[in-house]
Amino acid sequence: MKNRGRIDLWLSDDIETWWTHSDRVYDGTGSSQHYTDQAILTCHELRVIFKIPLRQLEGLIDSLFETMGLPLKCPHYSLLSKRLAGLNIPSPRYKKGGQRDERTVAIAFDSTGLKRYGRDEWHQEKHKVSSKRSWRKLHLGVGDDHVIYSTVLTDKNTMDDAATEALCDQIEEEVSMVSADRAYDENHVYKTVEAHFPEADIIIPPKDYLHYNENHHPKRCAHMIEIAAKGQQTWQQHHQYGKRSGSETAMQRYKRTFGNQLHAREMSNQKVEVKIACGVLNRFTSLGMPQSYKSV
């Protein structure tokens, strides 16, 4: 945990070979890209870590290159903003490892809100003005190893269950269990999860007003019958529903590490921003997690 606060600067020996494109084409329609996608991604990873504006990020990276004596420059802040949406990041990075590939994972789905740009609460109260500030919805698929395997950013009006398909599409690992809260208790959620992970146990508590009928998914009906016979607490313990808390912990870690608001203003940029941030959080996870033990 202490290592997360260290400032160790290391640049790969071959950074000069991949920071920019060596061959550029001038065909009359505009020159090809000068900076590689990897360079743009590296800059934005540093941005979410240090939580600084793009102009300050440009000065930070330029100072690092000058200190190291490298003939490189940081991309212009406007270029960093324009290229962000074009980065091909299908899912959070840094989630693969030897021990994780050899076992199945238990995935928990959940969502939280992230603020968009606009006037903050203090400004509204002091100057008696309305705020254009709104928020986006961040949907996460988190494993029991605290790794974020999938993430989707939507507008605030999107229901949690509507993001299930997109979350499942990003997960390539073998999954043994999928858990979520009551907001995901819909027949199409069961069908979607079953289609992606046929062998996975789907643990979603049924809504209170539901009654057994043949229109519900079989696994959904089985949960209703078991809860009616054994009680909610026994059902949760039997199916290890407590593993779902990993998703809530991941959301708390995200907001404590990167803040509760988005830096980018366009939706296309915001979607890539959260995937970059979740990838950085996965890298932090690989450095170490606190070990908790039950006190006797």
- The arithmetic mean of pLDDT across residues 168-193, rounded, is 95
Between 292 and 158, whose confidence is greater? 158
The whole-model pTM stands at 0.87
Q: Look at residue 97 and tell me whether its pLDDT is greater than 90.
A: no
pLDDT at 182: 93
Q: Label each residue of 182-239 as H, E or C.
A: HHHCCHHHHHHHHHHCCCCEEECCCCCCCCCCCCCCHHHHHHHHHHHHHCHHHHHHHC
Average pLDDT over residues 37-51: 94
Cα–Cα distance for residue pair 142/30, rounded to 1 Å: 42
pLDDT grade, residue 30 (50/70/90)? low
Spatial strand order of the sheet with 175-179 comes to: 148-155, 135-143, 105-115, 175-179, 201-203
Tell me: pLDDT of 186 over 90.
yes
- pLDDT bracket for residue 9 (50, 70, 90): confident
Q: Where in the chain is the domain with CATH 3.30.420?
A: 105-267
Q: Which fold has domain 105-267?
A: Nucleotidyltransferase; domain 5 (3.30.420)
pLDDT digits (tens, 9 = 90+) for 51-88: 999 999 999 999 999 988 999 999 999 999 999 999 98
In this prediction, residue 295 carries a pLDDT of: 79
Cβ contact 133:119 at 8 Å: yes
Using the structure block, give the residue that is written with the tokens 């009928």: 213
Q: What share of the chain is helix, strand, coil (3-state, %, to 5)?
A: 45, 15, 40
Query: Binning pLDDT at 50, 70 and 90, where does residue 209 land?
Result: confident
Task: Kindly list the distances between the CA atom of residue 237 and the CA atoms of 226, 246, 273, 294, in Å, as whole numbers in the listed order.
Answer: 12, 16, 37, 17
Looking at residue 21, its pLDDT comes to 87
d(CA 254, CA 275): 11
* Confidence at residue 164, expressed as pLDDT on a 0 to 100 scale: 97
Q: State residue 75 phi and psi, 5-degree precision.
A: -55, 150
